[in-house]
Amino acid sequence: MPKEQLDLLQFAAGGPAELRGSPSAIMRRDARDASSRRVWPEHLPDVLDWGNVPAGSLATLYLPGLNVRQILDWAISLYGSTRFKAVDDHTLQCNAEGVSYLPVPPGKGTNYNYVGLLNLDLPAGVKKGQVFKLVVRQVTNAAGSLPPVIEIGAVATSASANNPIFRWRRVIGSFQVTIPVTTADEMLDSEKRLLSNLRWIQRAIPTGDRWFPAFDCYLGAIADRVDALGGDSKKVVASPSGEDVTLLLNILDNTRDFFGEPVDIDIKHRTLASVPRLVLRRVTATRVLPIKNLRRFPQSDYIVTVTPSDWFHPEGQFVTIPPSGTASLTFVFKHRMP
């Protein structure tokens, strides 16, 4: 769990229950065996301070590397009771209010990093402009003694006899989650970009990696939010920039080099008048030009017209944007004679 990490999560005011879930960034929990830290063997609790989260909020914690029923048994034996309840073998829930304590079993050997996903469902009635904050802290044990007081001429005594061992808890890592409340129409574009970027990242995570189950769950939650916000998560493709590049334009000269001069680009849907027309003026054709967020298959037929900006010589082509990936068009112009 990184120290002083800040997660910023948007939340939609009003709307269906699907919009009231704010999945946090994925957590990594360092739970090394107590003996490796040279402290007495005891639990290593996480402290969840729910801050100003409104009453009626429900927290869900997914821990794919742990059996949560063992955690519940351990919590009851340590504290007498617990606010958490098991949803399944790897998921816990509790009401997000006050402070909650969660004992996490120590790992063994090098397998001491647990990955988890925290999801917070806020109640109906929150309003745009409100901001809620919560803090999760990882606490461990520490021990020490006061340095001995050395007096001139005093008879030497055993340090352990006069300096008892003190034990305390200390915070070794924490992160804060900040949830600003906004509206659904303001969130959709950013959630689609996030989903696109996460799908790109997921390609590099092996399915057997300990990060994969929590990351896959996180990605699924973002996809559900895109759908609930009025988007279509199935049409969001993976992109390293988090944007949906649908068409690549190669504008060349007769030597097959980039044209290099400014051009005007007009992209119009062939059949749907309701689809906005994209017009770009004086775009310098010195590289491959990416076009983003065109409508994907089906109903994805466009007419693309490219015209040199400084002289009228339009060239048009038809293109169908595929369900995923990018389409590509090449235009070739001769340079105008001086």
Alpha carbons 332 and 250: distance in angstroms, whole number: 8
* Coil, helix or strand at residue 77: helix
Alpha carbons 128 and 11: distance in angstroms, whole number: 9
> pLDDT tens, 70-93?
889 988 988 888 999 999 999 999
Question: What is the pLDDT at residue 39?
Answer: 33
What CATH topology corresponds to 245-333?
A: Immunoglobulin-like (2.60.40)
pLDDT band at residue 33 under the 50/70/90 scheme: very low
pLDDT of 182 higher than 60: yes
Q: Which whole-number Å values give the CA distances from 133 to 3, 8, 174, 180, 309, in the listed order?
A: 16, 9, 13, 9, 52
Query: How much of the chain exceeds pLDDT 90, in percent?
Result: 40
pLDDT band at residue 40 under the 50/70/90 scheme: very low
pLDDT of 32 higher than 60: no
pLDDT of 52 higher than 90: yes
Closest C-alpha among 27, 41, 91 to residue 62: 91
Burial of residue 319, with CB atoms counted within 10 A of its CB: 0-12 exposed, 13-18 middle, 19 or more buried: buried
Q: Looking at the whole model, is its pTM more than 0.95?
A: no
Written as one string, the DSSP assignment of 16-44 is: -GGGGEEE-PPEEEE---GGGGTS-S--E
Query: How much of the chain exceeds pLDDT 70, in percent?
Result: 80
Residue 92: strand pairing partners: 61, 86
Please report which residue ranges of the chain form alpha helices under DSSP H. Answer: 68-79, 159-162, 184-202, 212-228
Instruction: Please determine whether the domains at 5-182 and 245-333 fall in the same fold group of CATH.
Output: yes
Alpha carbons 163 and 149: distance in angstroms, whole number: 9
Give me the residue label for tokens 């044990």: 141
Amino acid at 99: V
Structure tokens of 174? 């924490």
First to last CA, the chain: 65
Longest CA pairwise span in the chain (Å): 104
List the domain boundaries for the chain: 5-182, 187-219+232-243, 245-333
pLDDT of 34 higher than 60: no
Which CATH architecture does the domain made up of 5-182 adopt? Sandwich (2.60)
> pLDDT tens, 128-149?
889 999 998 888 777 888 777 6
Give me the residue label for tokens 């079993």: 105
Alpha carbons 242 and 237: distance in angstroms, whole number: 9
